[in-house]
A and B are shown apart, each in its own frame.
Chain A
Amino acid sequence: MISPHLLGHPPKRSFSRSNFNVICVILCAGFLALCITVAKASGKSDKKCKYSPNYTETVTSKSGDKISFKMVLIPGGKFVMGSSNDALSSKADEKPSHEVSLDPFYLCPNETTLELFLAYYNETVTARKDNLDAGEKKEEKKQVDAVSGPTPVYGELSMGYGKMNPAMGMTWYNAVNFCKWVSKKTGRTYRLPTEAEWEYACRAGTSNIYGYTNNPEELKDFAWYDDNSDGETHQVAQKKPNAFGLYDMLGNVYEWVHDFYQPEAYKEAAQNKPAVNPQGPKTGKVHVARGGDYNASPPDLRCAARSFEEDWWRSGDPQIPKSKWWLPNMDFIGLRLAKSIDPKDKDTGYQKNEKK
């Protein structure tokens, strides 16, 4: 029932030997538990557990630089999303807690780096404005086939951070456009995780408040937040990963997810038992961002905590209409790439495993 391939080849990562052993045990236990869950749920989990546990994607920038990132398999399964009525520090929009069932998917173990986002920006940025102006209409017509590119950012995109710090300050729309660009560059369809996928990945098979732990004192081992960040973002993947091998799920930067934000969304979702691969409300004004940031305090770092774009996130943009691409100087909001399992994708572990 459990693929020996999966258990025999834990993902390669660079951390200390002692950490490695601990994580290895946790990882295996996590996959074991989840694969069993899937088996019970679908009755045909053999195939699903054959997906490669990870693969490396490489993007070649316009200037010829190769930028790689990993993707790890998050096994499908069921979990309880949201907060129970008596959960500590919980808020109304996290209720009711409800059962959710998810297909397996891939998730990037780290937040998207500035290095990759700058490659996207430099390749696609265009001087044309959203509203065409005198003398600019001719330039507009030339770029029909290309992925549309953002307008120049008001300010400086890196905000003084290094290339291995998380990308930040993009609108949800821009984050989605970035996913399209990565997809076009690689031939595989990348996207933002759904809110349910994000919470499932953050919980990583546990029901702990913070995923990794129930003890806020231990957050410092896993997250950059109010207590240890010094008021700025840090390079990705410097803290310990969670049981799925994911870094910085909590703290550092908020991560855009697919779903619109509605405070009542869970009431709707809870009507299906379980909710299967939920995509969130069909409409809304703003989108959900998850995981807290470098300024967050422990209540905001709970796996169940929901955040969303607030008016002041656009306050670095002095103009109206506000840019649809940028949240200037907002260095706390970034993203993490996700991908559905797709047998048509070339060169992922999926096909290699199938051949065996």
Chain B
Amino acid sequence: MNEINKKTTSRREFLQSTTRLAAASAVMAQVAPRIYAASDNTIKVAFVGCGGRGTGAAANAMSVKKCPIKLVAMADVFEDRLKSSYEKLKKIFPDQVDVPEDRKYLGFDAYQKAMDCLNPGDIVILTTPPAFRWVHFNYAIKKGLHVFMEKPVTVDGPTSRRMFKLAQESVAKNLKVGVGLNSRHSRALQELAQRIHGGEIGDLILQRGYRMCGPIGFFSSPPKPPDISDLLYQVRRFHSFIWASGGCFSDFYIHIIDHQSWMKNDWPIKAQALGGRHYKDSPDGIPYVDQNFDTYSVEYTFPDGSKFFMDGRCMKGCQESFCSFAHGSKGMAIVSKSGDCGYPSSTYKGQTPDRANRIWTSKIEPQELDPYQNEWNDLIDAILNDKPYNEAERGVRASLVTSMGRMAAHTGQEITYEQILNSNHEMAPGLDKLTLDSPAPLQPDSNGRYPIPQPGIVIDREY
């Protein structure tokens, strides 16, 4: 199961080895042929995972104005999802959506058939639940495809190790890889990062992130109805199941964890955390069977000892807060005013965001306001002009430190980066061999309840 390294790799060793490999990859990249396929200048796109965000990403892809882009194949395990996604896209982009019935693929192997419709240098969009990312990314690299993949890209240690390796392979093949951590493509946060790294608010000594809102998406799930298998129920309602999505924690909180690490210009090395399940019945008294806690509070520690607190709560009726702050030795910054990376970002003298103390506030032109579109414009630009562009390794790192905080809450233990990286708990092994008849990675008990985290009782894995 743990095919890469059983011995403990220290963080320093790990960084050294990845840096070496990255350097080697960079040299190879120079000699690798520029991969940009179609002779008629059209980039073909295949789309794996046709949910709401995936459909949004496909729309962003077809909205790039730099060259002709066509959607030629789609894949999902749910026919209704694929159908509805196709209809929505066809309506908005009638000339760019060219997906006849025989290029709509269903099932757990549909991703291969969709990618087989492309040539090297075309693009595949990977927007299934993150559990499948390594399976799909591996195939995309084999086919020589550029990739856009949604976040998170891993949910546990073993798949992160696998994805680090795949990230290096994709760099070596000069593939351009975008990861949907769209904070990185917010023009406001880009300028803020420059200002913070340039010392505008001094050394960062404390960072705070909040996503405390009402429940959203598939945060909670009622018992499985009889007309769907456990496997498909868990894939469909992926936010409810840790193996599929990393749970609400990974899916909801990764953006702020990622952009705070960026502001710090480093990654957290350990985490301790609180969390619990408080309301776990529906308003009608039906017990929810998902694995999520409804509150989390994580203290992340950076290598220099400074702390970053990430608070998450999914409860209706409580005071809501969805924003992030960075405090430095000379001042503070509002990183995201509202949302994953909401405008405007701003910096202040002192530790109170008073208007009188304001040093800078971001101003963005409307055409660059949408980070979801920016990340696609940037990716296509890199492909057309063969610029270095590969966000995979960073995406894995962000996913892994996010999982580190989640594991700390779920086990009630301090979790270090090495521990989560080298953890042997692969939550859903064998996903590359999955069929519709495979047993679900999470098995219910006789009452239809799935195992949940038990801090202090189950401490070496999350459930």
Contact = CB atoms under 8 A, between A and B. Distances in A.
Nearest to B89: A320
Interface stretch (B129-137, B140-148, B358-366, B449-457): B358-366
A139 interface: yes
A121 to B, nearest CB: 9
Given A155-B322, A158-B320, A160-B323, A318 B372 contact: yes
A157 B361 contact: no
B439 interface: no
Nearest to B51: A319
Q: Size range of the interface on B?
A: 35 or more
B88 A329 contact: no
Interface stretch (A88-96, A127-135, A283-291): A127-135
B342 A159 contact: yes
Contacts of A139: 282, 284
A152 B317 CA distance: 12
A227 to B, nearest CB: 14
B247 to A, nearest CB: 18
Contacts of A316: 339, 342, 370
Q: Which of B89, B227, B372 has the most CB of A within 10 A?
A: B372
B224 interface: yes
A127 B225 CA distance: 18
Interface string B81-92: 000110011001
Interface in A128-171: 131, 133-136, 139, 152-160
B441 interface: no
Interface in B24-66: 51-53, 55-59
B236 interface: yes
A58 B343 CA distance: 34
A125 B338 contact: no
Given A125-B316, A315-B372, A328 B237 contact: no
B461 interface: no
Contact of A230 (B51, B58, B233, B358): B358
Contact of A321 (B52, B221, B222, B236): B52
Interface string B432-450: 0000000000000000000
Nearest to B362: A231
A156 B316 contact: no
A156 B321 contact: yes
Nearest to B87: A321
A265 to B, nearest CB: 24
Contacts of B84: 131
A195 interface: no
B338 A135 contact: no
Contact of B225 (A122, A135, A318): A135
B214 interface: yes
A329 B221 contact: no
B56 A320 contact: yes
Given A152-B216, A158-B320, A319-B56, A134 B233 contact: yes
Nearest to A331: B338
Nearest to B363: A231
Contact of B338 (A131, A136, A317, A329): A329
Contact of A315 (B55, B213, B223, B373): B373
Interface string A290-333: 00000000000000000000101001111111000000110100
A152 B228 contact: no
B199 interface: no
A316 B322 CA distance: 14
A329 B342 contact: yes
Given A133-B236, A156-B320, A231-B361, A329 B339 contact: yes
B41 to A, nearest CB: 25
Nearest to B85: A320
Contacts of A152: 213-216
Given A231-B363, A318-B53, A329-B343, 17 more contacts: A127-B214, A135-B225, A154-B216, A155-B213, A156-B339, A157-B320, A158-B320, A160-B321, A310-B366, A312-B370, A316-B339, A320-B52, A320-B55, A320-B56, A320-B58, A320-B88, A320-B92
8 contacts: A127-B215, A155-B213, A156-B320, A156-B338, A160-B337, A232-B344, A320-B52, A331-B338
Interface of A: 122, 125, 127, 131, 133-136, 139, 152-160, 230-232, 310, 312, 315-321, 328-329, 331
Query: Can you list the 8 inter-chain pairs with the closest CB atoms, starting with the nearest?
Result: A315-B370, A319-B52, A156-B322, A159-B338, A320-B55, A155-B339, A329-B342, A156-B320
